[in-house]
């Protein structure tokens, strides 16, 4: 997995975390903590599940630094420029796509079964956003019935990625196709309001 993909994932998730502080009356420290939690939370959970010590951002502090710099820059830019209302959702979708496949591929590198790799890909994609939402006092997006398909998009992209690895010769294109599937599914769901059925017991 090229390092730039995880750097990019950390950066876009840090952006979404800071933008989520809007309207919560948080100061600079609070907004940065949201950004860091979103950027590093999913990968931390993945590494803990895989038994990786130290976790990725402790082993390579550049991930922490790029998340921190991006969070600080987003905080000050958002104070002086109008950020479109959908920016948070779009940034979150890109982070979901990048981290979903990063998590799946890393799990496979540690010889996890395909099903476990997909699950860890989902964890990596959604856990940072869950932590962000809990810290700002809201129900995590992944559990809200009014939110379009979210974790399901990661499942679809991770499954495509694994099937391509089994059916075709090894190629870096597999990971990018998996990321594209996640992103397309998530953005399409946002555009056309595609949601999963809501549980209602009788």
User: Mean pLDDT across the stretch 94-106?
Assistant: 97
Long-range contacts of 6-10 (CB under 8 A, 24+ apart): 6/43, 6/56, 6/63, 6/98, 6/102, 7/62, 7/63, 7/66, 8/94, 8/98, 9/39, 9/95, 9/98, 9/99, 9/102, 10/39, 10/40, 10/43, 10/57, 10/63, 10/66, 10/67, 10/70
Distance (Å, whole) CA 126 – CA 122 = 6
Residue with tokens 């958002």: 78
Long-range contacts of 53-58 (CB under 8 A, 24+ apart): 56/6, 57/10
Quickly state the pLDDT bin for 82 (edges 50, 70, 90): confident
Say yes or no to pLDDT of 86 above 90.
no
Say yes or no to pLDDT of 17 above 80.
yes
Quickly state the pLDDT bin for 23 (edges 50, 70, 90): confident
Say yes or no to pLDDT of 1 above 80.
no
Cut 0.85: pTM above it: yes
Q: Bigger pLDDT: 144 or 85? A: 144
Residue (of 45, 173, 150, 167) closest to 106 by Cα position:
45
**Residues found in the chain:** 202
Question: What pLDDT, on the 0 to 100 scale, is given for residue 200?
Answer: 82
């Amino acid at each position: 997995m090229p390092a730039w993909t995880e750097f990019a994932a950390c950066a876009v998730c840090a952006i979404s975390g800071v933008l989520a502080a809007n309207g919560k009356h948080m100061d600079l420290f609070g907004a940065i903590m949201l950004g860091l939690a979103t950027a590093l939370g999913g990968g931390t959970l993945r590494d803990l599940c895989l038994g990786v010590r130290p976790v990725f951002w402790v082993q390579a502090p550049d991930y922490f630094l790029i998340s921190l710099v991006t969070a600080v820059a987003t905080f000050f830019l958002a104070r002086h420029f109008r950020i479109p209302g959908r920016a948070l959702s779009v940034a979150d979708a890109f982070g979901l796509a990048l981290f979903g496949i990063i998590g799946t591929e890393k799990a496979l590198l540690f010889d996890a079964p395909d099903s476990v790799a997909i699950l860890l890909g989902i964890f990596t994609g959604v856990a940072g956003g869950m932590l962000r939402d809990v810290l700002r006092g809201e129900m995590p997006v992944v559990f809200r019935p009014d939110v379009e398909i979210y974790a399901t998009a990661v499942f679809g992209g991770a499954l495509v990625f694994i099937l391509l690895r089994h059916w075709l010769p090894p190629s870096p294109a597999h990971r990018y196709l998996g990321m594209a599937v996640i992103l397309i599914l998530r953005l399409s769901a946002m555009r056309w309001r595609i949601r999963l059925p809501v549980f209602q017991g009788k």
